[in-house]
Amino acid sequence: MIQFILKTLFKVSFDPIFNNSYTSIPTVKKEEIFAEKHLKITLFILILASFSGFSQGTKKLVWEENFDGYALNTTNWNYTTGDGCPDLCGFGNNERQIYREENIAVEDGNLVITAVKVGDAYYSGKIDTKEKREFKYGTFEIRAKVPGGQGIWPAIWMLGTTIDEIGWPDCGEIDIMEFVGRQPDTLHTTLHSPSHYGATASTQVTPIKNITDAFHVFKIDWDENAITFSIDGKKVFAYAPEEKNDNNYPFKHPFYFLLNMAVGGNFGGPEVNDSIFPRTYYIDYIKVYQ
């Protein structure tokens, strides 16, 4: 099948690659044959790589957000504004930022979230896909670059769509990535459930040297039996309780994405180094395979 595809696309014979025979080109020198074979092998590898970009094993790409254009696509995303008051001041974590739309931008194929300090106030950005892009099970891959600095708290996370009916933590929370500037070179991956939440959540701390210098790829594989976390292709944490119920595995219904950068708070702070601002958090893409 692969030979047929390659022959059809490139109008060339790939027989020498697969059967190591030179009889079909009797007048060409061996050096030229080897050069031609190497070129064909390279093309073969490139085509295989292009196919792998659209699938993860038997899963298919079902949604891809590349943050193209010059503005946030509100078909997919909602803005969060304010400080959480009056319902949940400080967003339940004593966070110090006020969220504004103007702290969210789309530039050069990235989502850009910028935290700033103006006078005595901190401002940042937060978006989510609630009621627009919600998913149950699959492989979720996000490429992002976090900023450093005491008091900064960028995150990639998901909440259960049942949050308005049953509340948190009963709805479940999947923290694909959290970084706090007071802990340089350290990433957190965490699950919150009724049986384990807040300070007792199921979590893994992963050291990554010079993490703020480059983009990294964060991934989870999630099904009815387990959730596995990976960073840059390396598995760092797996959660698979032997006996599952609504208390320890509320991860059997759709979830939606949240992207934000908090300032201060119980986890990100409490102290904030005011000299670091502005700080910028970049998200390159999100891919969902099912």
> Annotated catalytic sites, by residue?
173, 178
Amino acid at 123: Y
Closest to 184 (Cα-Cα) out of 151, 132, 133, 149: 149
Give me the residues paired with residue 122 across strands: 97, 117
Q: How many CB atoms lie within 10 A of CB 261?
A: 24
Give me the residues paired with residue 140 across strands: 220, 288
Task: Give the SS3 label for residue 155.
Answer: strand
**Residues sharing a CB contact under 8 Å with residue 128, sequence separation 6 or more, in sequence order:** 77, 78, 80, 159, 256, 257, 258, 259
Closest to 215 (Cα-Cα) out of 263, 179, 174: 179
Six-digit token pair at 261? Answer: 């950068």
Measured CA to CA, the distance from residue 258 to residue 95 in angstroms comes to: 16
Measured CA to CA, the distance from residue 179 to residue 181 in angstroms comes to: 7
Cα distances from 250 to residues 15, 55, 82, 194, in angstroms, run 54, 27, 29, 8
- Phi/psi at 40 (5° precision): -65, -40
Our measurement of the distance from residue 11's CA atom to the centroid of its chain's CA atoms, rounded to an integer in Å, reads: 39
Cβ–Cβ under 8 Å, residues 167 and 160: no
Cβ–Cβ under 8 Å, residues 279 and 113: no
Measured CA to CA, the distance from residue 182 to residue 173 in angstroms comes to: 23
